[in-house]
Structure 1
């Protein structure tokens, strides 16, 4: 039913109820009716009020029956409020979901754009790979052709190798024959060299630069200097005679004047000096030895019991290797001693020696241990810069 007809019905019904109320009121007034013991005047007023109430009740009843909205407004307002509140919360939730959906949509859109971009890149890469594939196929064809060519060349080379092998076999036989001839010639050359060397050195009793004598001088003055120098010269002559140098007519020793003056000058010092007497040239038997002097301060280099070197040697190695290690140790000791100030022999460039018995005895002891040991190189006695250095091994 439309609202217009509803209003007309309400107006008509209200007018009818008002008329009925007025009619009842007038009748009650004429007949002097009384309600609840009230005066008729008040009774008619109550009837008018009740009539108005009936009009309102009737209107509400009619509206409630006819209009669902009125019923809801009158009796379902709290429920409606709850529904509105629930709907508002639902709307907020949906708005939040909508915002998240929009955000996801943007992310998906970005991902889609990136995927499209990656797709384009992959397409480009695929295109490049296709081009490279075509290129590789062409190269493969070329290599296949090259392989066939090389195969033919290889067959050709195999035939050549066979021919060369036969020639090599022939040349090997010729080489063996030449090796035999070479060995024979080398043996003959060695024999000739040894013969020439023996001819060159035969009769030499003092070699050029050979150390003849170490002599210690102490500061002298006046006639004592001459006496000390003559004593040294007498000692050199004695050694020269024993070795077969010179004779009564030629003399036994010849000292250049400059060397003699140098010796006398050095003897004037108050410090102890070491005089090393050397042969100036190769001296043959019967010739006087020509000498020159090297003069150094005389000083102590090593004390008895001093350790020169510590070295680890593996006793699990072969005896030959152990002996090689010991020779390396001796070589290192020789260098260390020279650096400390011991003067070496000018011909052998060594500063001392160790007995063969001790050398091989030490090698066997290390081998018996069969493991790594620490080798000590110890000074046997006080050693001055004149040498020689005497050492011993300790494990």
Structure 2
């Protein structure tokens, strides 16, 4: 019990103590006066009449005192006037809690089932995970381009995962290959592209459920406008090299800067896929630039400062791939 609760309790205790004293004094005085006057009600003896009037007077004082207490104390007001409403709300909350517990049990059962299934086969895609992302390049023959993208997605998944197809098919399936797509979604996407032929789009394949090894890959299709994020020849980042003789450190700094660039491009709207944002650079290029930097530092034999610039060689859109060039500068 904190200090505020203790003071509130003490106040209520003193109030009821004073109320009891007041009722006792009032009842004693009323009883004496009525007894002396020998007032008679309902043909009762004066003694019983005095008792009835004294009891009524004490009850009136108790009621008035309770009303006064309700004005002084929010707790008393709540108890006197809102208790039934609170009880109803408590019952409603109990019902909601029971529903939540029931839903929790259902979700727990689903999780346990999922855990059991993972022991039977590996999950290759979780629900709503991007399966394949591709920019639409040819807006003149949309239908053919979409089918080519679907075929490319099939080949991409085949190359990355071992799978075994089942023979069941549904009426919603348009491809008897690995990926299964809803016809209506495909039709709507083609219509949308036809209605805006001058825009550049990106199509995203999202897993419509958890996909286990050996199952068809059921996907939902989403279409986004493939907006320009950065124009070509933009400087994506720069690294100040303080010790060009340390090749290993230079490589580590370049890899760290590439990771920073990836995070910044994602913030600007770049969609990552296959754990990358689509920036193409070979590890051999990074090693070669580190070696070249060391050689330049040894040839100059001067205390020059070096920087490595990271430059994109083509426009960067939401989903396209782009080439990254490393360039050494001195200052």
**Normalised by the shorter chain, which TM-score bucket?**
0.3 to 0.5
Greater helix fraction, Structure 1 or Structure 2: 1
Larger Rg computed on CA atoms: 1
TM-score by length of 1: 0.40
Q: More relative contact order in 1 or in 2 (CA 8 Å, sep 6+)?
A: 2
TM-score by length of 2: 0.46
